[in-house]
Structure 1
């Protein structure tokens, strides 16, 4: 008899074997080019072993694909996916177990049992022999599975059986993945920061932990581990990320009664921490003049335009480096730039979305930048990309440091200087916030038309730059 099945090979006196080539894109993941398994010396033995070996190979490749495409699902992830798979089959979770008297007449439950039986047959080819052998009640005659079912099939079976084993408890990894999906999205910078922060969390705790098990002492362990070799200000920023992730998870996972042990946890007491106003200082006008002269003679044209627009608007560096040509409204009655969220640039928060007038040198620099951009969609193609603001900051920082030795003076000091200019010009706090994209904390900050707010910002900047 000739065996006519996939991936099986006769090897002379050596017998039969299962041989399957690994797709090129999975070879790095599995660390081999072929999957080889001996099947025995005879055709009969090979045919008997083939279903199990083939199913194991299918699972091996499926797991490799998952690893190649992303991290392996967690217990909670499988649980969620199992419910989703059951829902696609037409089975929902919002029902109760039937009573013993109702089982036989409950069509939904019978359909669930049929679906579970179909899953079982994947792993127990001799499942039908259970029905054929009814001459005694000896459970030893029940066929055993040829190999363990996959996590996905196990989760689906549990969902079909209304998760009789209970709902798994979500972990820190589940919280991180949920936050990554719902809050971070495609922002590569935030993705890397999230991974970096939670790598430190797992290092401190030793393993992935269930959210409900976290205690205040665990949070302190994380903080102390983060403080090893890092500034308190950086650790406070990391702790803010952890707090946000856990708060989001508590809400979205419906963890009633759960508390976030990272709340009100600081890297350093407030009375010892450096005040925010002392971390950076504004430039003096003489320093700005010196840096501007150096940039004019030594920097590339796009950096000169970025610096000039920053100096004339008080915008954040990322807000300017990530401008699109379509954000430039130079023919408007009040020429301005539109700071907006788009695919190539994220902004700090919703109040940062605003129109900022262009006056004097900033307007001339904007006109030159638009002309230089030509047919490009980004105003500054070299910096309008992921990590572009960091590159622009490093490039401008060299010129700043060549003129000013004080480490508290950075490119961002232009924004601090604009704040001081607005104050000295007598501009009200609410109008300063419109220019700089700061939140006033008032419900009224969302009121008013764009044209009026633009006119207010224009008057404020004219006073500040007079």
Structure 2
């Protein structure tokens, strides 16, 4: 029997799975590109599980659509928007309640009350005709509203009345949204990571929490939840994101006296964590030769050029795949590429911005790439886009794995190899840092002219590649 059901896929010995691509407009919301759920080893088991898994996927996408259409403001968000709406009407918050003797002659307060009455009439149309003749100060004679006031109108009324009900406390969700707006911006990769990390935070805590209520024990619960099925190195990266978001919120929300319970929280003690040197290893020269030969015969032209430039410069993959044609200076006294921040490519940090000389095969590959790019803005149009480096990594990774089975050897191993080449050639560490875009930790690394640094880098590369 052959299964002919949408979103079911056979995966060899791994059995059956539910695989559904996430629409592009929802990927940022869900933090992933596809929804995968194992269905079992047999067709019968897959068919039995399918209805429940499919229903869960439908609900997941439906909820994502709602979130994509605009997240519902939080209590703090309504509060902030209410203040902004009052300000547009000419009312500010930097004043105090008038005393009973001042109310009648306080023109600003009278104008505020009229604005509130206008809001009330939206929900109680006959508000003007109400006369309360009782002297018992109750409001039993007041009509009930036709329907409940909206959160936005309620927040505006409170702002007009100088928020007499008090200022709401910002939550983790408020902190995430603020960080998304002020620090992440349009970077789709970071948006997806932020959503993915905070999905785990909410799962661990059970619900959104006020920032001021978070304790050290909560932070540990989040860490332990993240560690379930994930490497300590990945969890440390996730915890860094949470720390940054909360620190930003404490500062921007003026939460005086608040502390960040995620500070100095590690996924694993440093003495038990996997050493950095064991996460990746350099290629051997024989491995590079084998991979280069395979890429020459089996890969597309742009991938061949990317691999050759990586091998000859020690750059990161994203630094090369995201190059613009304008970043390649072939006619300079020292041909080079400029690694620079631009709209289609982010760089790792400030010190990563640098000029990298082109010599030997890397120079020839750059010349061919510029010619092939023609009038395109990006040197490698297929990969000079959001998520382009990930696509290039996957494409090159297939060729790497066909030649080298060790999982610690990846495309990034070329960068490790360049580091070893420079060391073996006796290149000083300061000059190695100029080539690779590493920080030396010295204030002097920002000094010196670009042309001198380029010449230093050229000499270092020629020694290393010799």
- The TM-score normalised by the length of structure 2 is 0.84
Give the direction of change, closer, same or farther, for the CA distance of 1:16–1:164 in structure 2 (3 Å limit). Answer: farther
Structure 2 residue runs of 5 or longer lacking an equivalent are none
| CA–CA distance in structure 1, aligned partners of residues 131 and 195 of structure 2 | 52
Deviation of the 1:352 alpha carbon: 1.2
Name which one, 1 or 2, has greater alpha-carbon Rg: 1
* Contact 1:324/1:378, CA 8 A, preserved across alignment: yes
| CA–CA distance in structure 1, aligned partners of residues 406 and 9 of structure 2 | 74
SS in structure 1 of the partner of residue 454 of structure 2: helix
Deviation of the 1:257 alpha carbon: 1.2
| CA–CA distance in structure 2, aligned partners of residues 304 and 44 of structure 1 | 45
Deviation of the 1:366 alpha carbon: 0.4
* Contact 2:309/2:365, CA 8 A, preserved across alignment: yes
Deviation of the 1:283 alpha carbon: 1.0
Which whole-Å deviations, capped at 9, do the CAs of 1:286-325 have from their partners, x for residues lacking one?
Answer: 2111111111111111110000000111110011111111
| CA–CA distance in structure 1, aligned partners of residues 198 and 143 of structure 2 | 45
Number of corresponding residues: 466
Deviation of the 1:7 alpha carbon: 41
Deviation of the 1:455 alpha carbon: 2.2
Give the direction of change, closer, same or farther, for the CA distance of 1:135–1:3 in structure 2 (3 Å limit). Answer: farther
| CA–CA distance in structure 1, aligned partners of residues 229 and 104 of structure 2 | 66
Structure 1 residue runs of 5 or longer lacking an equivalent are none
SS in structure 2 of the partner of residue 57 of structure 1: helix
Deviation of the 1:143 alpha carbon: 2.2
Deviation of the 1:183 alpha carbon: 1.1
Which whole-Å deviations, capped at 9, do the CAs of 1:366-410 have from their partners, x for residues lacking one?
Answer: 000011111211111111111111111111111111111111111
Give the direction of change, closer, same or farther, for the CA distance of 1:200–1:162 in structure 2 (3 Å limit). Answer: same
Deviation of the 1:437 alpha carbon: 1.3
* Contact 2:30/2:196, CA 8 A, preserved across alignment: no
* Contact 1:282/1:409, CA 8 A, preserved across alignment: yes
| CA–CA distance in structure 2, aligned partners of residues 401 and 16 of structure 1 | 25
* Contact 1:83/1:93, CA 8 A, preserved across alignment: yes
Moved more, 444-453 or 320-329: 444-453
| CA–CA distance in structure 1, aligned partners of residues 302 and 12 of structure 2 | 71
* Contact 1:59/1:150, CA 8 A, preserved across alignment: no
Deviation of the 1:211 alpha carbon: 0.7
Give the direction of change, closer, same or farther, for the CA distance of 1:225–1:143 in structure 2 (3 Å limit). Answer: same
SS in structure 2 of the partner of residue 383 of structure 1: coil
| CA–CA distance in structure 2, aligned partners of residues 38 and 148 of structure 1 | 45
| CA–CA distance in structure 1, aligned partners of residues 296 and 8 of structure 2 | 72
CA RMSD across the alignment: 13.8
Deviation of the 1:425 alpha carbon: 2.1
Deviation of the 1:279 alpha carbon: 0.5
Deviation of the 1:173 alpha carbon: 0.6
Residue 278 of structure 1 corresponds to 278
Deviation of the 1:214 alpha carbon: 0.7
| CA–CA distance in structure 2, aligned partners of residues 403 and 414 of structure 1 | 14
Deviation of the 1:460 alpha carbon: 1.8
* Contact 1:66/1:72, CA 8 A, preserved across alignment: no
SS in structure 1 of the partner of residue 98 of structure 2: coil
| CA–CA distance in structure 1, aligned partners of residues 422 and 44 of structure 2 | 89
Moved more, 403-412 or 442-451: 442-451
- The TM-score normalised by the length of structure 1 is 0.84
Deviation of the 1:362 alpha carbon: 0.5
| CA–CA distance in structure 2, aligned partners of residues 15 and 225 of structure 1 | 28
Residue 455 of structure 2 corresponds to 455
Moved more, 180-189 or 128-137: 128-137
Give the direction of change, closer, same or farther, for the CA distance of 1:65–1:188 in structure 2 (3 Å limit). Answer: closer
Give the direction of change, closer, same or farther, for the CA distance of 1:52–1:142 in structure 2 (3 Å limit). Answer: farther
| CA–CA distance in structure 2, aligned partners of residues 47 and 105 of structure 1 | 76
Moved more, 2-11 or 66-75: 2-11
* Contact 2:29/2:195, CA 8 A, preserved across alignment: no
